């Protein structure tokens, strides 16, 4: 599996994407981890994109699924560790205006 989840004990879960190219093949696993995190009562999911260098429209769709799921459950969904290239992609398609993006996982959890 190219994605993994870890609960932090602060009613939050970190989902780590462990591939350089988020193309969407991992979307099913990702979506399951998001649902599992919120089903367990977590109020925050942080997606760690530190290792990701490229994200496709399918990958962006998976992130939007996470955001929508969080909003439907009155929870938060945050992005951490996105590279400059990923941030530029987010900016070009204007989703940086709806996603909460942080430099580090710690910042995303503690803000």
Tens digits of per-residue pLDDT, 42-97?
Answer: 999 999 999 999 999 999 999 999 999 999 999 999 999 999 999 999 999 999 99
Strand-pairing partners, residue 14, are: 6, 46
| Whole-angstrom distance, CA of residue 39 vs CA of residue 53 | 30
Give CATH for domain 3-103: 3.30.750.24
Residue 1 has a pLDDT of: 59
Q: Is the pLDDT of residue 101 over 70?
A: yes
What is the CA 59 to chain-centroid distance, rounded? 10
Domain boundaries, the chain: 3-103
Residues 6+ apart with CB under 8 A from 66: 15, 30, 31, 34, 45, 47, 77
| Whole-angstrom distance, CA of residue 88 vs CA of residue 106 | 22
Tens digits of per-residue pLDDT, 2-35?
Answer: 899 999 987 999 999 999 998 877 888 999 999 9
H-only helix segments in 1-111: 27-39, 57-72, 84-92, 105-110
């Amino acid at each position: 599996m190219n994605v993994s989840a870890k609960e932090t004990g602060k009613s939050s879960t970190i989902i780590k994407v462990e591939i350089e190219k988020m193309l969407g093949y991992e979307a099913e696993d990702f979506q399951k981890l998001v649902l599992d995190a919120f089903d367990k009562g977590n109020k925050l999911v942080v997606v760690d994109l530190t290792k990701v260098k490229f994200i496709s429209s399918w990958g962006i769709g998976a992130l939007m699924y996470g955001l929508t799921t969080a909003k439907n459950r009155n929870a938060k969904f945050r992005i951490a560790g996105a590279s400059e290239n990923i941030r530029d992609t987010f900016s070009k398609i204007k989703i940086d205006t709806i996603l909460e993006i942080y430099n580090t996982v710690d910042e995303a959890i503690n803000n």
